[in-house]
Amino acid sequence: MERVTLNVEKREQKGKGGARSLRRGGVIPAILYRGGNSTPVKLSGKELSQFISRTAGEQVIVNLQFPEDMKQAVVKDYQVDPVMGNLLHVDFQEISATETLRVMVHVVIKGEAIGVKRDKGILQYGLREIEIECLPDQIPGHIDVDVSSLLIGQSIHVSDLKLGEGVRILTDLDEVLATVISVKEEVVAAPAEAEIAAEPEVIKKGKKTEEEAK
């Protein structure tokens, strides 16, 4: 698993004003979680933005280099300005080489299904990530799923995944990762989808940014 080192410092600035002040100075506020505890930290905005952009969709172990010591962590979440696209805040989870942890790992679909290429079917995607539990060094950057052999009517489920020894899948094994359907099935399903689309939309409230939460 890839490892990256980022320079980090503890921060005193908190709340909306403190976060805005940091960002104006080219610094990104972050939180380092460990068990039930959390430590406010700050990192170079340029360095952190480049890291997030380069590793998006990958699980990477981060060496957080403090002035006095170093801690290992993984990125649990991050917030981006919905309008400007600027990185606002990052959540890190501290890890130990000897302790198992639960993480979400992205699923990457590979290949072109026979049912699509030869039989003109349609590939439908299922889950885009699954939850696993393992030691830090066993975390895969992502999980490749080869759909090349899928015929129309066939699917790949979470239960079909073959991960390394010591990696336990926590996601429901019956969940679908990819399936190939016929064009006829897609056409029949269209009216039902249109009817659902006509219903009033329910706006889901997403995770608050750090500024709103504080």
Residue 12 sits in a domain whose CATH number is 2.40.240.10
Token pair 């759909």 is found at: 147
CA dist 153 and 172 (Å) reads 21
pTM of this prediction?
0.74
Task: Assess if residue 213 is contained within a domain.
Answer: no
- Please indicate, yes or no, whether residues 110 and 190 belong to a single structural domain of this protein: yes
Contact of 115 with 180, CB cutoff 8 Å: yes
Is residue 52 located within the same domain as residue 119?
Answer: no
Structural domain boundaries, residue 118: 102-198
Q: What is the pLDDT of residue 205?
A: 40
11 & 88 share domain: yes
> 38 and 115 in one domain?
no
Query: Does 154 have pLDDT greater than 90?
Result: yes
pLDDT at position 206, please?
A: 43
What domain count does the chain have?
2
**Rounded to an integer, what distance in angstroms lies between the CA atom of residue 86 and that of residue 119?**
44
**In angstroms, rounded to a whole number, what is the distance separating the alpha carbons of residues 126 and 159?**
13
